[in-house]
Amino acid sequence: MRYRTLGENGPRVSALGFGAMTLAPGVYGTGDEDGAAALLASLDAGVTLVDTADIYGEDGYSERMIGRVLGGRRDEIVLATKFGGNEGAGGMLVPGMGRPEYVRRALDASLARLGTDRVDLYYLHRLDPATPVEETAGVLGELVAEGKIGGYGLSEVSARTLRRAHAVHPVTALQTEYSPFHRDPEDEILPACEELGVAFVAYSPLGRGILGGAVRTAADLDRDDWRRNNPRFQAGNLDRNVSLADRVAGLAAEHGVTSAQLALAWLMRRGAVPIPGTRRAANARANAAAADLSLDASAFERLEEIVPPGAVAGRQAHDAYLANIDRA
């Protein structure tokens, strides 16, 4: 496993992390305790960054599992969680989740579920439309000074919002969707992170499972899997995207790796910290092994030729999801 520092002054972490949204039932199908084995397998493979959120599963399911499974190994991990992603009517964000009083309550609740007295990285999950980001950044800076969080991050915000928050208190990391199937961050977000010394964390690094080969038809998705409503998984679009994934798999096979490993290595080469999620221990170990790959630059160039920007069929998500993403 290779390691790196998050941002200019953040913690030292593994080159890729473990995304714990997959542990929660009703996100990517039915959750079960097999996720605990995957979590431990990642840790044993050298992964130190574990990323979750208070909305992953009913009553903080993902946070509670992490607290239960990793409680005895807390000092081995850099623990990240998020607040401010709750949705109300029509799938729109509940206003007010960026206000200082809410942030403090949310953190205390997460600490209790996680069974710890500190969070190493605390993210604003989505920009609160009712609160200036400067106000949220201010209270997060106070929590850093109080020792309750090691640093803070932002998720799915624009470069402009990142700069506004960073001016109040330095941002450790910015998290957004990024993969060979979704390259929007390359336009403004990645350059802004590099300019400010902010780490970039990539969620859904495997195209929400398509690049991993687990999804080939809609029948591969459980009835409660939210991806059934995602445009990239709709009839026609899914066929096109699976065809692209098959070409990536062929390229990966030429180099003796899996398509998931190739995609993760591509992200790390571009300076991102990917956080793939899985409930299978074998997949967790294979993902971790991607950090040690030594592939020729031509492999990555061919990957970009196979999946250039705009090649993927369908929008990133449905209307309500996109409405909650800050693009200003």
Please, how many CA atoms are within 13 Å of residue 79, restricted to the half-sphere of its CB?
26
Annotated catalytic residue within 28, 56, 122, 152: 56
What is the spatial distance between Cα 239 and Cα 76, in angstroms, rounded to a whole number?
A: 42
Q: Which residues pair with 51 in a beta bridge?
A: 19, 80
- Residue 328 to residue 326: CA distance in whole angstroms: 6
Crossing angle for the helix pair 297-306 and 259-269, to the nearest 10 degrees: 110
Tokens 């992603």 belong to: 85
Q: What is the DSSP string of 177-189?
A: E-BTTB-GGGTTH
Q: For residue 9, what are the contacts with CB-CB under 8 A and spacing of at least 6? A: 151, 170, 172
Beta strands 121-124; 199-203: pairing state: unpaired
Active site residue 3: no
Catalytic residue set: 56
